[in-house]
Amino acid sequence: YFPWQSNVASRRGNLAGVRFDKGVLYFPELVLNETSEGALMNMVALERMHPQTEKGVTFFMSFMDALIGTAEDISILGKAGLVTNNLGSDDAAATLFNKLGVLEIMH
């Protein structure tokens, strides 16, 4: 494992706050709940519909899909304090990111 640190500035909702600096991955804190999938899908759709819009959410979702493959990945991020999973299971959270990642590839 490599060190993780939650990006304090990103706790205010900046999903584009992912960066890697001197061996530390700075990462926005993320809370998942029953509205997360719909909200994230809508934000990605908005970015697609408006070409002049920055693609911060789309970038973040692509990054998360690459980072998360299994429930164990969600568990690791949860233990690091980076993901708060209120979806009921780590499998459900992993499926959310994998599904949204597939939708991005299909675009």
Q: pTM of the prediction?
A: 0.75
* Cα 12 to Cα 49: distance, rounded to the nearest angstrom: 25
What's phi and psi for 25, nearest 5 deg? -90, 115
- Encode the chain (107 residues) as per-residue pLDDT tens digits: 445 555 443 444 456 667 777 777 777 788 999 999 999 889 888 988 988 888 888 888 888 888 899 999 999 888 888 889 999 999 999 999 988 876 554 45
What's phi and psi for 85, nearest 5 deg? -100, 105
Q: The tokens of 107 are what?
A: 């675009």
Dihedral angle, C-alpha 53, 57, 62, 65, nearest 10 °: -160
Q: 20: part of which helix (H) or strand (E)?
A: strand 19-21
pLDDT of residue 6: 52
